[in-house]
Structure 1
């Protein structure tokens, strides 16, 4: 898991510490690869499992826009071609290249944009941007369930009910309940009362 805010690249304290930690992780990953075994820098370094890491962070890696994203939970068509701003909507090009070079992840999971997107980065690293899990940000929120092993992964997307569907159901249920209450106290117009009594008599038979 990477703190995206620490990838600003402005030399701040948390940025410097994060980059130092990432370089150390990169060195350990490299030492675990067969081609560098026997190097003097890796002689006493414990070997990590030979499995490429999964990168989890809030901000997506750099991409120009959501123009190539599709699916029912992608950004609306009118928003997909809006250019992203580096360090605000997505990480900068430089920070993205550093993460890809240092970690060489087999999968990248990100969020922030409130819309889903799948991107294939240079080197073949796939990135899945997870949409917002809140009705405040979109009508059809969703979340992703994943299964990870040392060699493979599987992702499955699960959707919440659409907000307008839930609200419509609540309103219909409330209206039906109100009709039942008014019918019970005979407060409905005569035509409705006649139909209500007819239904009740039919159900009692």
Structure 2
């Protein structure tokens, strides 16, 4: 099962949206935790709870759970060296420590997927819960955007990262193709200067054939 969390509602400032969202999350966590109990385990609190698929959930949210910085992150799509040691601001770059602990305590997720920082990172929470911060998918934010494809079952998951072409390489190919096109057009109309006579002669031979 997947749990989609509105990260903005985890500010913890007591706003109406925060209170409503937290109440719904608490109710959902109760259902999920009761659903994972063994049939022979008696619990009065779970007697009337709606039963959901008995698997540890996967947490999806925009903001990462609390971490000090990206200093421990590695990989070609992690933050650049000059940014890795910049401390994160709680409730701005990452969730607060309190909100992060609540989500882990409520749901005991088997995997957490997040974003926001525009750079990739893999961390372990409580020594066993992996969180993967997915890097930006936009060339506006990084030169090597990527996305993650996954295969998920009730008991396991497998993820594979796929990269898009480097933006700089795409621009280089476009520029080279554009320059070649201009040369061919000028050669076609015999407007080339001496250094480009080869292309002009090549086109002339092609026409003769």
* TM bracket, shorter-chain basis: over 0.9
Unmatched 5+ stretches in structure 1: none
- How many Å apart are 1:35 and its aligned residue? 8.4
What is residue 194 of structure 2 aligned with on the other side?
190
- How many Å apart are 1:36 and its aligned residue? 8.7
For the residues of structure 2 that align with 1:176 and 1:197, how far apart are their CA atoms? 15
- How many Å apart are 1:200 and its aligned residue? 5.2
Alignment of 1:5-154 (within 5 A): 5-32=8-35, 33-34=37-38, 37-154=41-158
For the residues of structure 2 that align with 1:195 and 1:75, how far apart are their CA atoms? 45
Provide, for residues 118-143 of structure 1, a one-character-per-residue CA deviation record: whole Å limited to 9, x for no partner. 00100511000000011111111111
Give aligned pairs, total.
205
RMSD over aligned Cα atoms = 1.9
Unmatched 5+ stretches in structure 2: none
- How many Å apart are 1:42 and its aligned residue? 1.5
Instruction: Give the TM-score of the pair, scaled to structure 2.
Output: 0.92
Provide, for residues 116-170 of structure 1, a one-character-per-residue CA deviation record: whole Å limited to 9, x for no partner. 0000100511000000011111111111111111011111111111111011000
Instruction: Give the TM-score of the pair, scaled to structure 1.
Output: 0.94
